[in-house]
Amino acid sequence: MATLTEAIRATEAITARGRALALGAFILALGPWEAEAHAFGERHELTLPLTVYLWAAAAAVVLSFFVMALVGRPAGETCSGRRIDLSTTFPGRVLASRFSLAAIRTVSVGLFLLVLASAAFGPSDPLTNFAPTFVWVLWWVGMAYVSGFAGDLWRLVDPWSILFAGFERVLPGRQPCFRYPGRFGVWPAAILFFAFAWIELVSASGEQPRVLFALIVSYSALTWTGMALFGREIWRERGDPFGIFFGLLGRFAVTGLDDERKRWQLRPPAAGLNEAQPASISMTVFILLMLSFVFFDGLRETPAWAGILHWITESMTLRPALLALRGAGLDLLKLVQTVALLAVPVIFGTAYFLFCALMRVAAGEGPGARTLAGTFAFSLVPIAIAYHAAHYLSYLLLAGQLAIPLSSDPFGLGWNLFGTATYRLDVSVIDAASVWYTAIGAVVVGHVIAVWLAHAAAFRLYAERAAALRSQLPMLVLMAGYTATSLWILAQPVIKNG
């Protein structure tokens, strides 16, 4: 989110922690190495050393495991809690009516067309064009919050699915051209998800309106081709990265559809994850990618990332290659970020499968590491939600305000449709202290819920209580370590003594 976020920082919303790092004359010769951050000019001063917070957070996760071990649950019990059928309530009937559904879908398609038109014909400046703010702030960040805490709204408002469904109604009886190969799993979605992350985190070209238009058109063509070849629902469940991403977050939410996807229910948080079948290897990788990409985005705001850049540019071994690549016209910063974007999921995956192997050793019985990886993969989703909530909160609340004036003048023509064209960003909606304490709460709660989900999965998997508890000890170490690491990363842009 480099270009848009940096421009916002240059205005009244966020002051940059450091737009460029002075890493020496050789770095300057190679090109600009930027430090990108969701940082505040005024940092929060902790009353205790940061290490105390990190140890306390990790201890809270460990303590939660021992509490669950003492309480325990009989093997096979789902821990899903009581459900309330919302489809029989008045709000549920209203929302499920044909008129309401038609209105929601019409608005969704209308917004989709407005974003396309604004990207194609609006101002070339991302700050004065409605499309980049809507796509990168309201849709990508905002929809994740809605999906994770309220329900999988994306399944209802997905404009690509709505438009293709309209095409299917025009041609009734049309059948998909091919049967989706089971061995493909969700690998197409995982590949597309990586490409999307590269555009968002490395290239940042998607914030340029004309480039964004081309990307949306290209993705539309790809999505509709996949739906035509394999079927609309199959492609949404296997090949659509956004449908899978928001759907996974929606499993955590307090509302969702039942197993037959016919009734809208109110349910305990994370119940949808607790009832999920073991993930395939491709779905496990997709979940690891979710964790990896937001972790990578946060990592770039830390001294550790600056140190990596410094080491690369000062390395006598790498210097000839860097000079040659620069001479060939490559952007060295983007090259390093691309390598890191590839490396982080590999490191995450290696660590996760290693700990799954340790879980098999600790249990002394049961399935191997690959089966365990799929069994416990969904327990990682609350961590992804927690980190997303903590990392992007200030970005959503500050950058999201750009939509207020832009909605009145989406094409930069001087309009004032809703009387909000002169709105100025209010930076008082959140400060560094609020971001920090939100991060602590979100990360600790997210990891505790993840431990609970893993605990419940272990009791379903192992007949012996002792084996179930032993299997969770390596996972507990992994969770506690990741709690401290993620909090340290989140602390860097917002506290003084980190």
Q: What is the pLDDT of residues 289-332, one digit of tens each?
A: 999 999 999 998 888 888 888 888 888 888 888 888 888 888 88
Say if residues 26 and 437 touch (Cβ distance below 8 Å): no
Task: Work out the average pLDDT over 438-457.
Answer: 92
Do 172 and 321 have their domain in common?
no
Examine residue 412 and state whether it is found in any structural domain, yes or no.
yes
Do 305 and 429 have their domain in common?
yes
Around Cβ 258, how many Cβ atoms within 10 Å?
13
The percent of residues in the chain predicted with pLDDT above 90, rounded, is 57
Do 395 and 292 have their domain in common?
yes
Name the residue type at position 106.
T
DSSP state of 203: I
The yes-or-no verdict on residue 414 having pLDDT over 80 is yes
Do 6 and 141 have their domain in common?
no
Task: Work out the average pLDDT over 235-251.
Answer: 96
Residue 73 has a pLDDT of 59
Helices within 45-89 (DSSP H only): 50-71
Name the residue type at position 412.
G
Do 28 and 144 have their domain in common?
no
Examine residue 389 and state whether it is found in any structural domain, yes or no.
yes
**In Å, how far from its chain's centre is CA 356?**
23
Say if residues 408 and 416 touch (Cβ distance below 8 Å): yes
Task: For residue 188, name the pLDDT band (cuts at 50, 70, 90).
Answer: very high
**pLDDT tens, residue by residue, 138-173:** 999 999 999 999 999 999 999 999 999 998 888 877
Reading across the β-sheet that carries 264-266, which strands appear in turn?
A: 84-85, 264-266, 255-257
CA separation for the pair 208, 126 (Å, rounded): 6
Examine residue 97 and state whether it is found in any structural domain, yes or no.
yes
Do 17 and 166 have their domain in common?
no
Do 292 and 423 have their domain in common?
yes
Do 307 and 212 have their domain in common?
no
Do 249 and 319 have their domain in common?
no
The reported pTM is 0.88
Q: Is 156 exposed, middle or buried (0-12, 13-18, 19+ CB in 10 A)?
A: middle
Examine residue 201 and state whether it is found in any structural domain, yes or no.
no
Do 311 and 383 have their domain in common?
yes
Residue 318 has a pLDDT of 82
Mean pLDDT of all residues belonging to the chain: 85
Number of domains present in the structure of the chain: 2
The yes-or-no verdict on residue 21 having pLDDT over 80 is no
Do 158 and 251 have their domain in common?
yes
Q: Which residue range(s) make up the domain with 159?
A: 82-185+208-217+240-267
Contacts (Cβ under 8 Å, ≥6 apart) of 193 = 241, 244, 245, 286, 289
Task: For residue 497, name the pLDDT band (cuts at 50, 70, 90).
Answer: low
Task: Work out the average pLDDT over 17-21.
Answer: 28
The yes-or-no verdict on residue 24 having pLDDT over 60 is no
Nearest to 472, CA basis, from 48, 66, 24 = 66
Residue 308 has a pLDDT of 87
Q: Which of 90-94, 210-214, 239-243, 384-388 has the lowest mean pLDDT?
A: 90-94
> Given the DSSP bridges, would you call strands 84-85 and 255-257 parallel, antiparallel or unpaired?
unpaired
Token code pair at residue 283: 């779905």
Task: Work out the average pLDDT over 413-420.
Answer: 92
Residues 363/368/370/373 CA torsion (nearest 10 deg): -10
The yes-or-no verdict on residue 39 having pLDDT over 50 is no
Q: Which residues pair with 397 in a beta bridge?
A: none
Task: Work out the average pLDDT over 56-71.
Answer: 89
Residue 16, CA atoms < 13 Å, CB-side half-sphere: 17
CA separation for the pair 198, 413 (Å, rounded): 32
Token code pair at residue 145: 């919050």
**Residue of higher predicted confidence among 275 and 358:** 358
Residue 259 has a pLDDT of 61
Lookup result for tokens 């893993």: 454
Residue 81 has a pLDDT of 59
Residue 42 has a pLDDT of 67
Do 441 and 392 have their domain in common?
yes
SS percent in the chain: helix, strand, coil, step 5 = 70, 0, 30
Examine residue 245 and state whether it is found in any structural domain, yes or no.
yes
The percent of residues in the chain predicted with pLDDT above 70, rounded, is 88
Say if residues 62 and 364 touch (Cβ distance below 8 Å): no
Task: Work out the average pLDDT over 243-250.
Answer: 96
CA separation for the pair 399, 2 (Å, rounded): 12
| φ, ψ of residue 44 in degrees (nearest 5) | -85, 135
Examine residue 329 and state whether it is found in any structural domain, yes or no.
yes
Examine residue 199 and state whether it is found in any structural domain, yes or no.
no
Task: Work out the average pLDDT over 40-53.
Answer: 78
Examine residue 202 and state whether it is found in any structural domain, yes or no.
no
Residue 168 has a pLDDT of 87
Residue 365 has a pLDDT of 84
Residue 96 has a pLDDT of 76
Q: Which of 189-193, 246-250, 315-319, 344-348 has the lowest mean pLDDT?
A: 315-319
Residue 75 has a pLDDT of 43
Name the residue type at position 287.
I
**At 439, which helix (H) or strand (E)?**
helix 432-461
Say if residues 256 and 267 touch (Cβ distance below 8 Å): yes
The yes-or-no verdict on residue 28 having pLDDT over 80 is no
Around Cβ 166, how many Cβ atoms within 10 Å?
11
The yes-or-no verdict on residue 413 having pLDDT over 80 is yes
**In Å, how far from its chain's centre is CA 303?**
23
The yes-or-no verdict on residue 25 having pLDDT over 50 is no
